[in-house]
Amino acid sequence: MSNFIAYIKSKSFRNNLIAAVCTVAAILLIAFFSLRYYTKHGEGLDVPEVKGLTISQAVSKLEELGLRYEIDSVYVSDKPPGIVTDQDPDAGTFVKGNRTIYLTINVTQAPNIKFPDIEFKSLREAQAILESYRLKLGDTIYKPDVSRNVVLEAFFGGQLIKAGEILPTGSRINLTLGDGRGNEDVELPNLIGFTLDEARFSLRGSMLSLGTISSEGIITDSATAVIVSQFPLTADTLIKVKLGSPVNITIINKKQ
């Protein structure tokens, strides 16, 4: 033990200890400055704004700054094709050189998707589903039905569509919803002597629909033809029918 204590107090031990400390310090300094050089600490640049540029303009701008890029695509109907609609990281973000910038461009033609099943879904639920499929909610109309704000029918371009049919992404979908009044009764108007336009106006006011149109003889002018019978029939006192019920009519040429 006395020999060990004597060694610690010796000049040789002090020299070796100083040498070891200096060696460790030198290794740490070399590692620190090497890491700074490797990572180019403090060196970088701000990401440029490329949203709204064409893809060729955006790529040229990024390459000039030594930035890499990857491209994804999306279809946005109200934006011109071939432009950058989004970028990540955002403009102004400080990044290292050679960083990858992710670009989203608007394609020329909308990709096709299968129309989702939204029948009998609530309006809110249907809208969320349409948005998740990158479809747009168009006009909504109501018709008599016991269900309120529930999708009864979906239309694209005026045509009835069902789940599974192929549509372009971004299509605008019009919906027919139930108004929750399907069990209500309304008074049946007497249409005898009305023209077609007058009948449609009367039925619309009563929230009824025009059913089949028959004729007696050849109709030479449908605008002036008048109704001679209807079904359901009206009695001496007006009868009531279900809201939205169709009324079938028979027309003849108006006598001069």
| Phi, psi (rounded to 5 degrees) for 50 | -120, -5
Query: Is 193 in the same domain as 225?
Result: yes
- As a whole number of angstroms, the distance between CA 26 and CA 104 comes to 48
Query: Is 91 in the same domain as 145?
Result: no
Count of structural domains, the chain: 4
Residues 6+ apart with CB under 8 A from 124: 149
Query: Is 192 in the same domain as 240?
Result: yes
Per-residue pLDDT of the chain (256 residues; tens, 9 = 90+): 566 566 566 667 667 767 777 787 778 777 666 655 554 455 678 899 999 899 889 999 998 888 989 988 887 777 888 899 999 999 888 888 788 999 999 887 778 889 999 999 999 999 999 999 989 999 999 887 777 889 999 999 889 999 999 998 888 999 999 887 766 788 889 999 999 999 999 998 888 889 999 999 888 888 899 999 999 887 755 688 887 788 999 999 987 6
Pair 179, 142: CB distance under 8 Å: yes
The model's pTM: 0.44
Specify the pLDDT at position 31: 66
* DSSP per residue, the chain: -HHHHHHHTSHHHHHHHHHHHHHHHHHHHHHHHHHHHHHTTT--EEPP--TTSBHHHHHHHHHHTT-EEEEEEE--TTS-TTBEEEEESPTT-EE-TT-EEEEEEE-SSPPEEEPP--TT-BHHHHHHHHHHTT-EEEEEEEE--SSEEEEEEEEETTEEE-TT-EEETT-EEEEEEEES-TT-EEEPP--TT-BHHHHHHHHHHTT-EEEEEEESS--S-TTT-EEEEEESPP-SS--EEETT-EEEEEEEPPP-
Query: Of 129, 161, 179, which marks where a domain is finished?
Result: 179
Structural domain span for residue 49: 45-106
Query: Is 209 in the same domain as 224?
Result: yes
Query: Is 117 in the same domain as 102?
Result: no
For the stretch 192-220, pLDDT in tens is: 999 999 999 999 888 888 999 999 988 88
Specify the pLDDT at position 238: 62
Query: Is 204 in the same domain as 227?
Result: yes
- The CATH number of the domain holding residue 57 is 3.30.10.20
